[in-house]
Amino acid sequence: MDDEKEAAPAAMDAPAAPEAPAASEAAPAPEAPAAPGKPGFGTLARRAVAAFLDWFWSNVAVGTFGVWLLAEVFRDRLRITGVFLLIPSLSIAAMLLATALLARLCTCRKIALAALVLALFPAVSGLLVENQWVRPKPQGDAERRLRLVHWNVGENANGWKATLERLEAQKPDACVLSEICSRDDVGSIAAGLGSDFRVYHVRNLAVVARGPVGLVMPDERVRGRAYFVDWQSAHGTVRLLVCDIPSHPVYYHASWLAKVRERMGVHRPDLVVGDFNATRRTSALSRLPKGYAHAYYAAGKGWSCTWPDPLPLWDIDQCIAGPRIRPIRYDIVATGVSDHRMQVFDFSLAPEGASAAPSGAR
């Protein structure tokens, strides 16, 4: 009995077993996910704007780069690519940089990066291919140096006196002047340079040189635009091919330039100089006849453009050295008078029998 009484309180102290939940109190089953609703008008509008901006800036970047690439590949062999060639490489690079910036502001990050990469190609071409920053070693004899100045004097509002002042400062042996129509002005300039200077003047071109100078023949293939002139310098005869190619911005220059290049190969002038209104990137001027080189590449350095004078972007004035020319130094000089910068080329004549190409030929 006593054992039964002691067991009873122990049984009463034991925890009760949990009761099984009733069927009505079972855990609820998980709900199925709600079907997504249609995006609102604001969301659709934002997506449409983002898609349009991607399309727009990608086309701007590809189109701008394509203009430069087509110009580099075809040069001026096609009329349309000849127009593309008028756009400086660095201007294309600047356009692509602006595209990258604007695309980034529009949150088109991938397109901005792509435009930035594309900008590197015209930038490198403009800075390191079309321009050079180290002057080549002089090849000429400094004691037999001759100095040729070419300058498109244009419509000089200050008259021939301002032109004479700029020319006198260069101490030239010969000057080729473009777009100078007044014979009186040419005569005054020659007299101001010295009593030993002589003049050959035709149309809007003039050669003013120390020593006899005269026409050898007009180039009938480039009628009214190119003339062969012999200059009897102190160190020998120098044959010049002086040129003035039409300046209309969309004028198709390729045929004129091809004729000039052909005459160089046939008549072998010592110097080809003038206002070509075409850059060295054109087909004819980028592939000169054997033995010829641009004076800039042979003896120059720095920014190579000559027009317009306040901020030159185009290298349209050319000086090309032939096989008998030994380059010493080439410079482009700002004048503040004309809209063209001045070309100043120091050279000597090769000894008799020598015919190697000028250093720097490309």
pLDDT per residue over 212-240, tens digit each? 999 998 766 676 689 999 999 999 999 99
**Is 237 found in the same domain as 307?**
yes
Closest CA to 256 of 218, 223, 209, 210: 223
Q: What is the mean pLDDT of residues 311-323?
A: 97
Looking at the structure, tell me whether residues 171 and 305 fall in a common domain. yes
pLDDT for residue 218 = 76
Please identify, among 99, 129, 159, the residue that sits at the C-terminal boundary of a domain: 129
Segments forming the whole domain that contains residue 265: 142-349
Element (H, E) at 321: strand 317-321
Q: Give per-residue pLDDT as tens, 133-150.
A: 999 999 999 999 999 999
Instruction: Please work out, in degrees rounded to the nearest 5, the angle formed at the alpha carbon of residue 320 by the alpha carbons of 158 and 239.
Output: 90
Q: How far is CA 15 from CA 3, 5, 6, 8, in A?
A: 21, 19, 17, 14
Are 86 and 186 within one domain?
no
Nearest-angstrom CA–CA distance, 273 and 257: 13
Question: What residues have CB less than 8 Å from 32, skipping those under 6 apart?
Answer: none
For the chain, the domain total comes to 2
Residues 230 and 286 in one domain: yes
Task: Please tell me what DSSP assigns to residue 250.
Answer: T
Q: What is the DSSP secondary structure assignment for residue 248, as one 8-state letter?
A: -
Domain finish residue from 76, 97, 129: 129
Q: Quote the pLDDT of residue 43.
A: 86
pTM: 0.85
Please report where in the chains the tokens 């006849």 appear, as a residue. Answer: 289
The residue-averaged pLDDT of 340-360 equals 82
Residue 72 has pLDDT above 80, yes or no: yes
Least-confidence region, from 24-33, 151-160, 175-184 = 24-33
- Same domain (yes/no): 210, 340: yes
Q: How confident is the model at residue 39 (pLDDT cuts 50, 70, 90)?
A: confident
| One domain, residues 111 and 169 | no
Whether residue 215 contacts residue 193, with contact meaning beta carbons closer than 8 Å, is answered with no
CA distance 277 to 152: 11
Local structure of residue 312 (DSSP, 8 states): -
- Picking from 222, 270, 258, 262, the residue whose alpha carbon sits closest to that of residue 243 is 222
Mean local confidence (pLDDT), 318-347:
97
The reply to whether 166 and 98 lie within a common domain is no
The predicted structure's pLDDT at residue 351: 87
- The H-or-E segment that residue 328 falls in is strand 325-333
pLDDT confidence of residue 7 = 47
Among 242, 256, 214, CA closest to 149:
242
Whether residues 175 and 287 share a domain: the answer is: yes
Checking if the pLDDT of 348 tops 70, the result is yes
With vertex at residue 285, the alpha carbon angle to CA 280 and CA 286, rounded to the nearest 5 degrees, is 75
Does any domain span residue 305? yes
Rounded mean pLDDT of 238-247?
93
Boundary-marking domain end, from 129, 164, 184: 129
Q: Which helix (H) or strand (E) holds 62?
A: helix 41-74
